[in-house]
Amino acid sequence: MKIYRSESLEKYLDDLAAKLPAPGGGSVVALVGALGVGLLSMVSNFTLGKENYRKSEKEIEKILRRSEDLRERLTELVEEDIKVYGKVTKAYNLASTTGEEKEARSQAIEKACKEALTVPLEVARFCREGLDLARKLVEIGNIRLASDVGVAAGLLEAALKGADLNVRINLKSIKDRNFAQEKIREVGILMENRLKIRDEILRKTEEKIGNS
């Protein structure tokens, strides 16, 4: 498996655009999420040590620590999505001539798809958490970088929705309905009010830009 984090951005984009099974949408949403929280880290770093923001320093430090944890994990998930999707592809390519082969293939697909959806579900959790961090940061972060918090909010909401789509597409191949319903419930909770939160952040971003 290619380790894209040690490759150039151009290489990743070329492979993404090519007729290759991966990277695809699942990997992209993890990357977009990582970009979003990376912006939160940048804003936090440019806020810390500034006299005008001294009273919020401890909260900014907490945001920075968590945004960096999220950035590291989301970057790992870019690779993990490619890996698990490879298992799904392998399962679908299994022989299906005899009854036994068909059953074995069906079970392999079920297992691979269950594993595959764990990645976008984790991405969704982290992007939702990133949105919550952006909601705090737009209030107390460096006003000169308010636009970057707004950009982060847009990226994180888009990645969250993309992760939801990837969870649901994997669920279509899973026959275990109890498992599927539980995962739909989980991702549904993460999706609640996401647009409201994004729009709230963007509105406050506009206000900060107008006052800067």
Domain boundaries, the chain: 21-211
Name the residue with tokens 């969250």: 160
Q: Please state the φ and ψ torsions of residue 61, each to the nearest 5 degrees.
A: -60, -40
Q: Count of CB atoms within 10 A of residue 195's CB?
A: 12
Distance CA 30, CA 74 (A): 5
Distance CA 53, CA 144 (A): 12
pTM across the whole model: 0.93
Q: Report pLDDT for 2.
A: 61
Q: Which CATH architecture has domain 21-211?
A: Up-down Bundle (1.20)
CB 176 within 8 A of CB 117: no
pLDDT tens digit at each of 212 positions of the chain: 567 888 899 999 999 999 988 899 999 999 999 999 999 999 999 999 999 999 999 999 999 999 999 999 999 999 999 999 889 999 999 898 899 999 999 999 999 999 999 999 999 999 999 999 999 999 999 999 999 999 999 999 999 999 999 999 989 888 999 999 999 999 999 999 999 999 999 999 999 998 76
Q: CA neighbours within 13 Å on the CB side: how many for 78?
A: 22
The predicted-structure confidence for 57-96, as pLDDT tens digits, reads as follows 999 999 999 999 999 999 999 999 999 988 999 999 989 8
| Residue in 168, 170, 131 with CA at minimum distance from that of residue 150 | 131
DSSP summary character for residue 212: -
